[in-house]
Amino acid sequence: MTAELDATDRRILTVLQRQGRITNAELSEVVNLSPSACHRRVQRLEEEGFIEGYVALLDARRIGRMATVFVEITLQSQAEDLLDAFEREVAKLPDLLECHLMAGTADYLLKLMAEDTEDFARIHRQFLSRLPGVRQMQTSFALRTVVRTTALAV
């Protein structure tokens, strides 16, 4: 799919990942296109699904989410109906940022944000412990975030 992107498309995507609120006029200057050509390219990138959407990235600490928590979950079996049930329920977790089906020792890896360890205990009690088919959970707390980005190399 990346073969459909030329160098200008890649420059546009790189800039938009770091400056999502940049105006079309400013973007067109940065990527050396006329404003109308730049607008057409951005529209095409959106229509073709290269750009899924635009978001505001919040500072978790400023809104009281001080703890980044990773939870490895192993299910009782790999039966398709159990995987489906687990994925349906885990998607409802209010504090969940990411959930990945894994290859390796755990079946799923979850990334959550909590206020602190006490808040995570609440999340565990109210939500994680009620997920279907869970055989084992292993929780790790991040001590410090060294690198954090949402930008993909294009």
- Successive 10-residue mean pLDDT values, the chain, 154 residues: 83 96 97 98 97 94 96 97 98 96 97 97 97 98 95 94
Which has the closest alpha carbon to 133: 102, 100, 109, 107?
107
The reported pLDDT for the residue numbered 43 is 98
The reported pLDDT for the residue numbered 46 is 97
The reported pLDDT for the residue numbered 3 is 60
The reported pLDDT for the residue numbered 2 is 53
Give the pLDDT confidence of 128-138 residue by residue, as tens digits.
999 999 999 99
SS3 7: helix
Distance (Å, whole) CA 74 – CA 133? 9
* pLDDT over 90 percentage in the chain: 97
CB hemisphere CA count around 100 (13 angstroms): 12
The reported pLDDT for the residue numbered 107 is 98
The domains located in the chain, with CATH, are 2-47 (1.10.10.10), 67-141 (3.30.70.920)
Distance (Å, whole) CA 35 – CA 21? 15
pTM of the model: 0.88
Contact 95, 101 (CB under 8 A): no
Contact 113, 60 (CB under 8 A): yes
